[in-house]
Amino acid sequence: MDNRKVLVADDEVHIVNVVAMKLRNNGFDVVTADNGAEAYRLCCEEKPDIIITDYQMPQMTGLELIEKVRSNPDLKHIPIIMLTARGFAIEDEQKERLNVAECLSKPFSPKELLGYVESVLQSSAAK
Amino acid sequence: MIKKYYLFPIAVGLLGLIAVLTIPLGGAYWARTMLCILVAAAAGVIAWYLYIENKTLLAQFESLKNDFKAQREKASQSNRETKDMRLQVQLLKRQKRNTEAIIYSISDAVIVTDASDRLLMANEPAGEIFGFKLEQATLKPIDELVTKNELVKLIKSSRSSRVRHVKHELVFESAETPSTYNCTISCIYDDDNEVCGVVVVLHDITREKEISQMKNDFVSHVSHELKTPLASITAYSEMLVDGEANDEKTRNEFYSIIQNQAQRLNRLIEDILNVSRIESGLIKVNKESVSTALIVRDAVQMIKSYAAEKEITVDAQTAIVFDQVNADKDMISQVVINLLSNAVKYTPNGGKITVNSEVDESEGVARVTITDTGVGIPADEISHVFEKFYRVKANNKCAKGTGLGLNLVKQIVEKVHQGRIFVTSEVGKGSSFGFELPLVSAEKVMAK
């Protein structure tokens, strides 16, 4: 079975690197982007199994990225985890409407993030 | 005692008697006696007549006297009343002038209306907000003067509902920016407890609202900025603890990231504290004679690796001239670093930053200018960029920041060093930020 693919989008290079390393060490394929527009382009090209995105990013915010992904029929099924330093990144209503699986706040534990990625992928596969 | 009005007839009788007795008349004794009786009778009749007449006259006189007294009483009464009224009018006039002075000296807009919703009084700020001239507005219906329907409705409803005080927040849209007012409407009551007017006070809270919004944005930005390096520190620490870094090279890389992020966190906290210290005048300033060119050269060296990450070239032109300024070296270094890191932040990959340090002898200043090929600042926002917590909306997506860096630059240059800051910018082409500091005379430096 192919490795599951994760798209990590964050404009903080150290965050992208640490998340990518944790996931790669645990058998995931990882593609990374440092802005929202690049992340959307990679989504279309790579069709990842799950997206981990920051909220505040140049060119396109995490929220705008999610809106675009959800409005694209080819991508709208992809589960999304939001990882943000903003205390009130999205409202519960938005989270539900945009089908955001988890909204995690920074500082975060890479170990916990890995746990969330696996459980979100499992529940997504079960559907 | 004999009353005065008897005296006259008695006197006439006596005179008659004396005349009869003394006038040398011839004739018989009885004739003289008869004459005496006649004279006495005549005197009696005259006396009686006079008595009666006198009594009537006296009665009339008494009545007239009483009338006169009553009239005089009345006159003095009305005189007193007139005096009282004059005093009251004076008092009322003084009270009116006091009220007007109070209303005119208030910076809030004040409008006073009567029971028919006509303007009784208003001050200049009210005239300015609603665009009416005070001298032409008195007694005009309020709906002709106040163009904001919402406020007119509130005035009328407050008067009819007789509520003593009512407060509302009103937003007045205008051609420029909307203004927000705290509006207090109070009813005036007469002696019968009927509403005879309404007082409206409009307190402009636009600036307070902006500051509150800026503070909220600041808390949001600062927490984001603090959490970002903290997130790296905790994540890389956990990776090290969990043994995810397999080789020495990776471990060293992680240690270095943790150290850099801790320094970044420290710089941010220092920025926040410095702004606060400078504002409160508590910062320790160590001024000495320093060369601006040297400060610029060191700062450029520090920023080069950050610029290289975005393939931005930094070209520094520093004058080899006497450019000593009396300054706190660390603070001016911070100014240059803040301006340079902003230039890198807002310049797209592959751009260029030019740093120019020169001396303007005619002005007696050392001038540092940092020009980038970045995103630029819209004209309507350029005057705000040095305000605390202010962030250019259009450039929010380009880079993160707290909105403190440029404010710190302004405070250090202007407040601590009595220098001057300047900025020019064009959207899509780039910005030019700089500052000037007064030069120290060469003699002074030599003397030291």
Tokens 């989504």 appear where? A43
CB contact under 8 A, B238 and A87: no
| CATH number of the domain where residue A75 is located | 3.40.50.2300
Residue B374 structure tokens: 């970045």
Percentages (nearest 5) of helix, strand, coil residues in chain B:
55, 20, 25
With contact defined as beta carbons under 8 Å apart, do B275 and B407 qualify?
Answer: yes
Query: Can you list the alpha helix ranges (DSSP code H) found in chain A?
Result: 13-25, 36-46, 62-70, 92-97, 110-126
Chain A hits for B238, Cβ within 8 Å: 109-111
Chain B interface test: which of A8, A18, A24 (most B C-beta within 10 Å): A18
The residue among A32, B242, A112 whose CA lies nearest residue B251 is B242
Task: Supply the angle between the helices A36-46 and A62-70 in degrees, to the nearest 10.
Answer: 30
Residue B96 amino acid letter: K
Distance, in Å, from the CA atom of A98 to the CA atom of B386, rounded to the nearest integer, reads 38
Distance, in Å, from the CA atom of A66 to the CA atom of A78, rounded to the nearest integer, reads 10
Contact partners, residue B92, CB within 8 Å, separation at least 6: none
With contact defined as beta carbons under 8 Å apart, do A58 and A31 qualify?
Answer: no
Q: How far is A81 from chain B (nearest CA, A)?
A: 16
Q: Which of B223, B231, B261 sits opposite A108 (nearest CB)?
A: B231
Q: What is the pLDDT of residues A5-49, one digit of tens each?
A: 999 999 888 999 999 999 999 999 999 999 899 999 999 999 999
CB contact under 8 A, B231 and A107: yes
With contact defined as beta carbons under 8 Å apart, do B421 and B409 qualify?
Answer: yes
**pLDDT number for residue A25:** 94
Residue B18 amino acid letter: I
**pLDDT number for residue A87:** 63
Q: What is the ipTM for the molecules in this complex?
A: 0.93
Q: Which of B223, B235, B399 sits opposite A110 (nearest CB)?
A: B235
Q: Which of B224, B239, B397 sits opposite A18 (nearest CB)?
A: B239
With contact defined as beta carbons under 8 Å apart, do A11 and A35 qualify?
Answer: yes
Chain A hits for B261, Cβ within 8 Å: 14
Residue A96 structure tokens: 């539900």
CB contact under 8 A, A14 and B220: no
Containing H/E element for A10?
none
Nearest residue on chain A to B258, judged by CA atoms? A14
CB contact under 8 A, A14 and B232: yes
CB contact under 8 A, A21 and B244: yes
**CA dist A41 to A66, A76, B398, Å?**
13, 14, 18
Radius of gyration of chain B (CA): 50
Range of the domain at A113: 5-126
Chain B hits for A59, Cβ within 8 Å: 397
Residue B394 structure tokens: 């259009």
CB contact under 8 A, A22 and B239: yes
Tens of pLDDT along chain B (448 residues) come to: 455 556 666 776 677 677 666 665 555 677 777 777 787 787 778 778 878 888 888 899 899 999 999 999 999 999 999 999 999 999 999 998 998 899 999 999 999 999 999 999 999 999 988 888 888 888 899 988 888 888 999 999 988 888 888 899 999 887 677 889 999 999 999 988 889 999 999 999 999 988 888 788 778 778 888 898 999 999 999 999 999 988 999 999 999 999 989 988 887 888 788 888 887 877 888 999 999 999 999 999 989 888 998 999 999 987 777 789 999 999 999 999 999 999 999 999 999 999 999 999 898 999 999 999 999 999 888 988 998 767 776 676 666 666 788 999 999 999 999 999 999 999 999 999 999 999 987 666 555 5
CB contact under 8 A, B238 and A107: no
Q: How far is B234 from chain A (nearest CA, A)?
A: 7
Coil, helix or strand at residue B420: strand
Query: Looking at the 3D structure of chain A, how many domains does it have?
Result: 1
Nearest residue on chain B to A85, judged by CA atoms? B224
Main-chain phi, psi angles of A74, to 5 degrees: -75, -20
A71 interfacial to chain B (CB closer than 8 Å): no
Which residues of B make CB contacts under 8 Å with A?
A: 220, 223-224, 227-228, 230-236, 238-239, 242, 244, 257, 261, 397-400
Residue B111 structure tokens: 């409008």
**CA dist A114 to A50, A80, B242, Å?**
12, 13, 13
**pLDDT number for residue B161:** 87
CB contact under 8 A, B224 and A86: yes
